[in-house]
A and B are shown apart, each in its own frame.
Chain A
């Protein structure tokens, strides 16, 4: 097992997309874990009345807020915590719930399958964001609540994907062979079928986490996040209400934006790299650069060739024309 997981991370590390993703994600995790040591000031300190609205300087790398005089750089570092925790925990919870439901639906089948799939059908048509807004208003605005709501409404898509994959694996010959060898349902489910869908789970965790990070920022920006915590979304909301644009304090807006971008970008990168690794039909590195490269090789080369031919042919024509 150990050998396999090593291989897995090595493969991800060797993948160009995966490597950028891992590096950025590791940096963010480092920031989140050691936020207390990295941050030069206490971001919760709202008593710095004298230091309100400072521009970036050596003592305050990103200035301070206009309203309360908090150090923006420190807030940025502390914001990593919320973003990562909400994103990752939701991603993992979703993967766990989705895997469980997908496995049950796919492998047990029958009544359980219909029941779970009907629930999924209903959940899929419920618009999540408005519901989240309503529910956070009812149940309070803690991050735990946001994680809970996104998990409850986020597992459905994954459960479907897992179920279909389980249905494929369930009818495979090696499961049949294991059954013949006398394997119990649990043995088949956890030794054969679950390993067959792990890649989907890891991939989904990465991609869901990225999505949830954006959603969390959005909710916080709308004022639906935890009012006591510091998150990037809330920083944006503060900047908006504190008049950052009015005073031209662009760093106050750009900084959390970059934070959100980096976290989402890194997780997306990891997720996409995993997708390419596990789905060989997806061409590796089918990016814009590659497209231009292939254009260069075929199409543009063809044009150049034609031009060369024309250039070689024209003088001859010209001479003939001159003779005539």
Chain B
């Protein structure tokens, strides 16, 4: 039996003191209205992101994991201002992103960029590499033609492409190379905050490491902050300092990556971790297989979102929604019974 000290402190209150915060959300909700079946029926929503409060510190890599459809990408879009939140706030460098004037918002957005999951659809097939990479600079203005050309060449070298590739079209490149073009484009304005929305999941396994290494090198060189969305927990463990596990639009567990991996207190986190393949054959892993499908986010379960699939769910879980509570120095969890079912 482990003893867990649980204090009802909400993460952002802890971190507001530190000046190190780059971006944080306060009770962020993104709900999409669903067309009503009857004209006067109850208006229903897909609660893609529901009451999410996260804090991302300067210079770190923040991991965001969860099943497909749990709202990871929607959260990222809301952070970038691409998606207006239904409720809650996004603070970027201390400023409320959605309260800014259009001009200030555009200025703030200069510092945030995104690397897309699919390098095949995120590059305009009719544009050559030079135009693709220089587009952000062209839009922002303030560069002469020579400066732009030099900058594009520098970026090309930085991401490991050739000068000869300058006037080729995206269709002439492989997936990995296209992702490099996407990265060059994203960093061309020297952003502080870079969202990597599953940057390697559409690529061959053999180029995963190359792209990840490139991203890590760039982070060190340019002092960027990453929000790293991924399915791949092994990757997240390696590169992320902090981690947030989402399920059906809500945060299940968040905190220091090492601590979560060493001591996963939430049953959902444990089931995710038990699915990670291990190279070590001797080490027999206990699999924790969840039953059933992820419920529809339109009719999310009452109480704890995870209660329908949690093997340890009790009556309380079906009634009350657990709040995030602190269970360690940098470890927060939304569960009524942290650490339930853990043996030792």
Residues in A lying within 8 Å of B, measured CB to CB: 4, 172-174, 176-184, 187, 192, 195-196
Contact = CB atoms under 8 A, between A and B. Distances in A.
A218 B221 CA distance: 71
B82 A177 contact: no
B118 interface: yes
A182 B109 contact: yes
Interface string B43-58: 0000000000000000
Nearest to A184: B139
Contacts of A196: 126
B28 interface: no
Most buried by B among A174, A179, A180, A183: A180
A22 B216 CA distance: 55
**Pairs A-B, 8 closest by C-beta atoms:** A181-B136, A173-B122, A174-B124, A173-B121, A183-B139, A173-B116, A182-B139, A195-B126
Interface majority SS (helix, strand, loop, mixed), chain A: helix
A232 to B, nearest CB: 39
Given A173-B116, A180-B80, A192 B139 contact: no
Contact of B109 (A172, A180, A187): A180
B114 interface: yes
Contacts of A173: 116, 118, 121-122
30 contacts: A4-B126, A173-B116, A173-B118, A173-B121, A174-B121, A174-B124, A176-B82, A176-B116, A176-B122, A177-B116, A177-B123, A178-B139, A179-B82, A180-B80, A180-B82, A180-B112, A180-B113, A180-B114, A181-B113, A181-B136, A181-B139, A181-B185, A181-B189, A182-B106, A182-B140, A183-B135, A184-B139, A187-B139, A192-B124, A195-B126
B198 to A, nearest CB: 12
Contacts of A172: 121
Nearest to B121: A173
Interface in B89-141: 106, 109-110, 112-114, 116, 118, 121-124, 126, 135-136, 139-140
Nearest to A183: B139
A180 B118 CA distance: 16
Nearest to B189: A181
Given A173-B116, A177-B114, A177-B185, A182 B122 contact: no
Contacts of B136: 181-182
A242 to B, nearest CB: 54
A197 B203 CA distance: 29
Given A174-B121, A176-B122, A192-B124, 11 more contacts: A172-B121, A173-B121, A174-B124, A176-B82, A176-B116, A180-B109, A181-B113, A183-B139, A187-B139, A195-B126, A196-B126
| Most chain A CB within a 10 A radius of its CB, from B118, B124, B135, B136 | B124
Contacts of B112: 180
Contacts of B110: 182
A182 B124 CA distance: 16
Nearest to A196: B126
A196 B135 CA distance: 17
A182 B112 CA distance: 10
A174 B139 contact: no
* Category for how many chain B residues contact A: 20 to 34
Contacts of B109: 180, 182
B170 to A, nearest CB: 9
A196 B124 CA distance: 9
Contacts of A176: 82, 116, 122
A178 B116 contact: no
Contacts of B118: 173
Contacts of A178: 124, 135, 139
Nearest to A180: B114
B51 to A, nearest CB: 26
A4 B126 CA distance: 9
Nearest to B114: A180
A172 to B, nearest CB: 6
Contacts of B182: 177
Contacts of A174: 121-124
A4 B131 CA distance: 14
A109 B182 CA distance: 28
Nearest to B125: A174
Contacts of B114: 177, 180
A63 B185 CA distance: 69
A125 B136 CA distance: 45
A173 B135 CA distance: 15
Contacts of B113: 180-181
A192 B136 CA distance: 13
Contacts of B116: 173, 176-177
Nearest to B167: A3
A179 B113 CA distance: 10
A4 B169 CA distance: 12
A172 B189 CA distance: 22
A137 to B, nearest CB: 46
